[in-house]
A and B are shown apart, each in its own frame.
Chain A
Amino acid sequence: MKLLDVSNLHASVETDDGPQPILKGLNLTVKAGEVHAIMGPNGSGKSTLANILSGRPGYTVDGGEVMLGNNNLLNLEPFERAQMGIFLAFQYPVEIPGVSNMEFLKASIDSLARARGEEQPNTANFMRTVRELAGSLDLDPAFLKRGVNEGFSGGEKKRNEIMQLLLLNPKLALLDETDSGLDIDALKVVADGVNRYRNQSNGVVLITHYQRLLDYIVPDYVHVLSNGLIIESGDKSLALELEAKGYAWLT
């Protein structure tokens, strides 16, 4: 079953010097149960793709189509896309001072439940679940009382994103360099979290620079994004090849 279908996507970023085209006719299909790794040089448009799929302001779609199941995503507000099951783990998680992690997560899960006509979880159960999740990712429960990402270390921020992934259990997870800035142990913890999340009905788009992560989260496909286009696709062996040869041989 097709989960995500991106066809011929053209998009530009709004800069001070006017719009600058970044994605130039990108195609990508993710079926339920699949993990797609996206690699590629700095500045090639990987984060732009994830941002556009989730509806971040600051970009213009110049053409093409993005479907999540039967829904055309491009006309929806970011919160509507989230309610439909799009999740973005941020490359640079943002701080929200004064809003505790726990409070934020409750607001999130309640909003998602409300939008889907489901019952909102009871607070005590919810807090227990969150504490257990935090523990499973080696996050001190004291983090839950602190402001969202407020004063978290780089690695803590990334683990926090994965905790949210596990709690919210979306249809499609866009993980933007969730491995960067992690020490070896944290990398395993995060990879383990993603593997726990994976199942036959959801999908993962995994943006990374390092083949090392793919030893832990084994992808079904590896794509190379360069200059706004996917220029090469293959299985996990492609990542090993890239590790050895770099990107130059492809362009």
Chain B
Amino acid sequence: MADQGDVITVRGLVKRYGPVEAVRGIDLDVHRGEIFGFLGPNGAGKSTTISILCTLVEKTAGSATVAGWDVARHPQEVRSRIGLVFQDPSLDNQLTARQNLYFHALAYGVPRRQRSERIRAALAMVGLEDRADVQVITYSGGMKRRLEIARGVLHHPEVLFLDEPTIGLDPQTRATVWDHLREIRAQTGTTIFMTTHYMEEAEWCDRIAVIDHGRIVALGTPDELKDQMGGDVVVVTTSDNDRAAEQITSRMGAAVTSDDGTLRVEVANGPEFVPQLVRELDVEVKTVTVRRPSLDDVFLKLTGRAIRDEEVDSAGALHRAMAQRWQGGRR
């Protein structure tokens, strides 16, 4: 059963939307004070799981506790102990940053004497003091995200949930967001539970769960997951990838996956494999790279598919741009 140090426990969690089974029996424990990553492609069930843990969505079966309280039976207790940064913005654009934080402080019962100091500190943490009194509608996407993070920790939650907190942000802003998360964890010991489909972000988590089609397919530290792979990954491009793939399989007995104009081969010993490869293939080998397995490789091996950042990103950016125009025009 749950450990004393576990701040989230999930057992056999299932969520069905009519015929769609978004979450299909998830078990996990999140330790107090860790940064826990929930990694999976679009539609894997990350947002659904996080929404159940945050008491916004009712589970179909299973159980979940957050900060010691059952999410179905004691939603108010859970709510008062968590902070949440949603996948889509949830700020009041008509209000100023300070007003947004003030609303939050009142709603979470931050004592009157501490309110203004906490709001000031939160704004300072994310570097928005100068813009605190202008309407949020004038903020960039990155500023909004930073404000939401400041708001998420304003009431000193035990767990901070973040659903794709860096989606659609430029690399520099993403790095800033991560700086904030690490600072929060270091200063307050707040547990951070975040979802992402960015592999490199998953690397920065203490532990990750890989989720696909509503199931957890792997759970551990990033190093543990990569070590499970064993061996090396060899990435090859040739003049005729189809033929090369066929020959690698038939002549060398290695598993090949084709991805975006390259062939990826998992082997026990990369440096020994490369000379063999060049000898055995009839087609011209153009490039060869040998590397340690990445989480990408782990994901590919577990699910047979790669997580595609580009598609998700452009779709997300488009959606966001449209939402903003709609907002700008009508509000």
Say whether A associates with B: no
| Interface set of A (CB-CB < 8 Å, partner B) | none
| Interface set of B (CB-CB < 8 Å, partner A) | none
